[in-house]
Amino acid sequence: MKNKYIIGALLVGIISLFASCSDDNDSNPTLIQPKEFVLNTPAYANATIDLEKSTGLELTWSQPKYTADNAPINATYEVQVSPTNSFTVSTDEAAADESGEKVPDYAVLSNTTQKCNISASAEEMDKALVKILKWTEENVPAEQEMYVRVNAYILEGTSRLNPVASNSVKLNVKPYYIELKDAVPTMWYLVGNMFGAKWANDKNIGVDALPMFLKPNFSYDKKTGAGEIEYTNYFLTGDYNDKAECDGAGFKILPASFNWDYSMNADGATKGTIIYRNGGSDGGHIVAPEAGYYTITLNTADNTAKMEKYEGAVNNYGTIQISGSFNDWTDTAMLPYNTEGVENHAWYYVMDVPAGDTAQFKFKIAGSWETSWGYGAEDGAINMYGKCESGGKNIGLAEGKYVISFNDITGAFSIVKL
């Protein structure tokens, strides 16, 4: 018997036949208030969508008529989700109500777009249902109705002008329980020739995709996990071929979904540029303008990124060791981010802490404790990112499998749980 649930892989790309809208701006349009616009019914609307096995649900819509002659204009679009088809009080509005009287009946997903299509996060949709319907782990239903609509507006500074909502589309979903807690910071992954010619073919974090670093002292969005992540190291450079690729030095940056349509690429074949593909045509390899030290900063809230020269002092340690309770405080060499043989200052190690155990560790140079790095208020305190101190405290980890990264230029460490 056919499985009636559609997993996320089947949802990607099936909406390409639906209408989309232009990104162009008219020179000086006069705004009018649109009365309506159409959210297209997706092809998967008659199936039951397994939210736990899905990554994104592709949605498309028509452009609202914001000018008298319907000239293209850059409207902003957000996706709204309701279990009851009522869109009166959002979860954000209810959370901000100090009286506690407002009861939410819909949620607004975090990602917005200025195109007429989006890959809406299945996980965020599920969180919205759990929050609105107040499910516990024991009472999540096998199936649930979910209504989706798109809200459009013109963003001027912080003001939302001429808002208009689309029709809603009913979807049938298989929800799952997810604990409502602060979101894990959003991570992106480095792949390519600069990193041992590993291109995430197996989507194996810590093997063929290397995490960027969470930024020390940065406060990430508690709801979405959005914020700034960074990466500092020595970069090679080289020349582009006719495919905008660069042997040895070229690379790209992938989101956690490993969806290449939403990767970070170069702007064509222009060195030192990084742009978000956002479902558009493929770009070139990212390549440093010249060989040297650079910091890449990626804002996961608006999907912008930049590559800037690093001007600080650099010590070349050659190797960095990780030492801790897991190896009786002996030296274990961390692996380099850069291709073997290229000067490197970012290092990683995959650690598996057995169930019921904890681990403590520090970073150090080979054969000596005279130069070592630690972090935290006390030995064994669990922190997932920060800026290490010379000779600092032992970093703690609970049970689980992790990719531990350390940067010997900045002193930053960052841990991703697998």
pLDDT at 21: 54
pLDDT at 367: 96
pLDDT at 205: 97
pLDDT < 50 positions in the chain: 1-20, 22-26
pLDDT at 72: 78
278, two tokens: 């956002």
Shared domain for 289 and 325, answered yes or no, is no
- Please write the tens of the pLDDT for every residue from 148-186: 999 999 998 889 999 999 999 999 999 999 988 888 999
Domain residues for the domain of 339 are 321-417
Q: Residue 291 in contact with residue 308, Cβ under 8 Å?
A: no
Classify residue 316: in a domain, yes or no: no
Classify residue 144: in a domain, yes or no: yes
pTM: 0.66
pLDDT at 249: 98
pLDDT at 195: 98
Q: Residue 164 in contact with residue 151, Cβ under 8 Å?
A: yes
- Please write the tens of the pLDDT for every residue from 266-292: 999 999 999 999 999 999 999 999 999
Domain-terminating residue out of 264, 281, 309: 309
Shared domain for 89 and 138, answered yes or no, is yes
- Total domains in the chain come to 3
Q: What is the CATH number of the domain that holds 331?
A: 2.60.40.3620
Q: How many residues does the chain have?
A: 418
Classify residue 29: in a domain, yes or no: no
Domain-terminating residue out of 309, 344, 367: 309
pLDDT at 157: 84
Instruction: Find how far residue 205's CA is from the centre of its chain.
Output: 14
Residue located via tokens 């965020």? 124
Shared domain for 282 and 195, answered yes or no, is yes
301, two tokens: 């809230």
Classify residue 278: in a domain, yes or no: yes
pLDDT at 222: 82
pLDDT at 98: 82
pLDDT at 14: 38
Classify residue 7: in a domain, yes or no: no
Mind giving me the DSSP string for 113-156?
Answer: ESSSEEEEEHHHHHHHHHHHHT--TT---S-EEEEEEEEEEEEE
